[in-house]
Structure 1
């Protein structure tokens, strides 16, 4: 029955989409959605096309799994095409003492071609819908909320991608879901770049299945390197911290740069996954000083009197003091995990990780009471989806003036978190009695 409902939903969306786009976009027509950049390298084209396609489809209510499959099919066709007519004159990009020629393409022209591939795939599927691959075995609910707060600009970005395998055509039988929060500074360019490309680079890592930690570290490093090339071409000056989670089979991989954080809650108790990179952390301070840099206090601890983070994508004027090397931890999933929370420092400046379990539990209770304790699955789902909004409001009321992004990935249905544990009687007792399992570093 569930498969029939998914197929009916897919057919309904495809009919609406083909009705809106009955033919290919004409050469001089305005695109229905703006590309991220004016020019892109061939390597960047992968991420920018997927981002654009997913954004277009999501705005029109596409089922997430179908949207990922459509984009993957359209991108495959795009990459088989001759893109040489869209090449820009080659530009020399300084790389240390050498210069390398980078092939750039005109984004608008190439993305028009990509969208036409997308329209063609949708039209074909509308007339003859192929058998869609099954949805992930573990369907995780996610609650996310982000605010600019009192800052002049919003420089946070986040990614919610439970359809990781469908988007990249991975068919090895291992379920994967990806989530990330990026906290930009000095502009939003670095955060936007990381949110567009990191998961794409990660999907191409050969060690993804055998060694997720190595794959994550390599993906962060490569993303930093390609953003450096873009920054030189376009004279960008910005950086971003980031925390990313890959749920791969029965393993939770968490990778991070800087002071954005992830917290796992198991049976009501927080489990330490990571130690954020801050300039005054003893090993970070020693690393920076060994390189010839310094840590100074100017309202907060700063690297060489500039950035308040010791590791980031970007910030190339302070490399290598501000390192682009990510850390990663691996934690086995035992089946008794409640959720994993990702957030930027705008949240954790006002909330300690140890406070997260109580705050989430209170948010679920308040939202459940406000909804009158509804029993329908739709009402229960709505309660879980609004948890992040409550957490963001709490951090703001607690004095945070920074951008705030909170993303909660429920590893079991949120309504179950309010059910007393049979061995302890109450959620609070359950929280106190649960034992912590430390992740592998």
Structure 2
């Protein structure tokens, strides 16, 4: 069981990359942090390129082990890892604030993770963690493109309850895309904290829309403290999806978007916040601000987004208040797509179904077999990559991130497409 072979003294060093040429995702992105942020450490280790996933741990077990290790970490004495007061003062703190050093806390978390692995290797917990009962498969891809820096982040948590410790009997899956600007700090912070903050909301089951909005506001407030402490000026738009029972909840700030495809037809889930949107323009003007065109429409002539986490030098004109929509799932949905504006600026929502089907056909043909003979993971895994490539070819120069969350097997979509094509070819029956 290679996923139990965890050595807390080994791992990637800063600056190294994985086999895909990307930075490893199992290091804490901060040099220091507030104690209240400790509960988000588990997020670093549940990414698809994390230390457990790279060792073949199934996703539900990955999430369960990280949650168990986090519980041990939160019971430990972390006072030896406090940032020295002199260092805190150098960071510009106006009052005494306790901060924790990330590196030693991360090492302690890895030790706790190893303890859990050893204990579970000897005696597996009962019942074993299981994955979601509904079909969920996520294809994701992200590129820097022609930009100097990659400021997007994305999150895929099909085992949301297991990771966060929720035990209310309601299945949940969480997916999100964050599009940073002025630096990557706000996007990293939102990707690390929003889902945990959401899981802590009392209204999550009874009023998920309110819970989602509160989670965005709370995350923005928490990032304000970090931004002030470290003199950060970045911001991030974001769109997050929560699959909860039979419902699909979407919350968003700014122009990152999500859409649903049902029976091959695009379904609108949201209206992205843009400065030129009439109600957003009116909101900014009512606050005493203005919308100015400088290459694109901008709030007070600065930011090209009207809502975001961060961007505190332009609050409240750039709002941190999220919107949320809820859609009942009927069981005939194909997939959900989440993407940043680097994708949607050059691809219209109505183009997406044909692009996804085209990518599936190409992958099926490349396997040299019928679609029913190709494994689901292989068939759908490169769909997001194909969509990203299409957006780049269509002229996008921005960072591009795309996530496709399949709600039914990709092979089923191909079979349905083949059936529809056959019917169209045969034409109407002759009398």
- The two structures have a TM-score, normalised by structure 1, of 0.86
C-alpha deviation, 1:99, in angstroms: 6.8
Q: Secondary structure at the match of 2:416?
A: coil
Out of 382, 386, 391, which is 1:386 matched to? Answer: 382
Confirm or deny: 8 A CA contact 2:372 2:411 kept in the other structure: no
Name the CA shift for 1:83/1:427 in 2 (closer, same or farther; >3 Å). Answer: farther
In structure 1, what is the Cα distance between the partners aligned to 2:113 and 2:294? 51
Question: Given the superposition, is the C-alpha separation of residues 316 and 170 from structure 1 closer, same or farther in structure 2, using an over 3 Å criterion?
Answer: same
Structure 2 counterpart of 1:77, from 72, 96, 100 = 72
Please give the per-residue CA displacement for 1:321-362, whole angstroms capped at 9, x wherever unaligned: 000000000000000111000000000011011111121122
Are the aligned partners of 1:374 and 1:380 in contact in 2 as well (CA < 8 Å)? no
Secondary structure of the residue aligned to 2:52 is helix
Matches within 5 A, 1:288-327: 288-327=284-323
In the TM superposition, what are the counterparts of 1:92-241 in structure 2 within 5 Å? 101-131=96-126, 132-241=128-237
**Alpha-carbon separation, structure 2, partners of 1:368 and 1:416:** 12
The yes-or-no answer on 1:265 pairing with 2:255 is: no
> What is the Cα deviation at residue 236 of structure 1?
1.1
Q: After alignment, is 277-286 or 226-235 more displaced? A: 226-235
1:38 is aligned to 2:31: yes
CA pair 140-93 structure 1, distance change in 2 beyond 3 A? farther
For 1:102, what is the secondary structure of its paired residue?
coil
- Matched with 1:63 is 58
Picking from 382, 400, 408, the partner of 1:404 is 400
SS in 1 for 2:139: strand
Give the number of aligned pairs.
406
1:243 Cα deviation from its structure 2 partner: 0.5
Report deviation, 1:101. 4.8
Deviation at 1:114, TM superposition (A): 1.4
CA separation in 2, counterparts of 1:310 and 1:254?
A: 18
After superposition, give the CA deviation of every residue in 1:351-408 in whole Å (9 maximum; x if it has no partner).
0111111211222122222222345655443121111111111111111111111100
Distance in 1 separating the partners of 2:377 and 2:169: 28
Structure 2 residue matching 1:341: 3-state secondary structure: strand
Shift of 1:46: 1.3
2:354 aligned to 339, 358, 361, which one? 358
Which blocks of at least 5 consecutive residues in structure 1 are unaligned?
1-10, 430-441
- Does the 8 Å contact 1:184/1:191 carry over to 2? yes
Q: 2:363 is paired with a residue of what secondary structure?
A: helix
Q: Distance in 1 between matches of 2:41 and 2:69?
A: 13
Deviation track 1:276-317 (CA, whole Å, cap 9, x = no partner) reads 000000000000001111000011000011100000001111
The residue matched to 1:62 in structure 2 has which SS? coil
Question: d(CA) in 2 for partners of 1:130 and 1:298?
Answer: 59
Tell me the TM-score normalised to structure 2 length: 0.88
Query: What residue in structure 2 maps to residue 47 of structure 1?
Result: 40
> SS state of the match for residue 192, structure 1?
helix
Distance 1:83 1:377 in 2: 52
Please give the alpha-carbon distance, in whole angstroms, between the structure 2 residues aligned to 1:427 and 1:305. 54
- Offset at residue 149 of structure 1 (A): 0.8
CA deviation after TM superposition for structure 1 residue 13, in Å: 2.5
Provide the C-alpha distance between the structure 2 equivalents of 1:260 and 1:93, rounded to a whole number of angstroms.
36
Does structure 2 retain, via aligned residues, the 8 Å contact 1:303–1:322?
yes
Aligned partner of 1:331 among 327, 350, 360: 327
| Residues 1:13 and 2:8 are matched in the alignment | no
Q: Say if 1:342 and 1:109 are closer, same or farther in 2 by CA, change over 3 A.
A: same
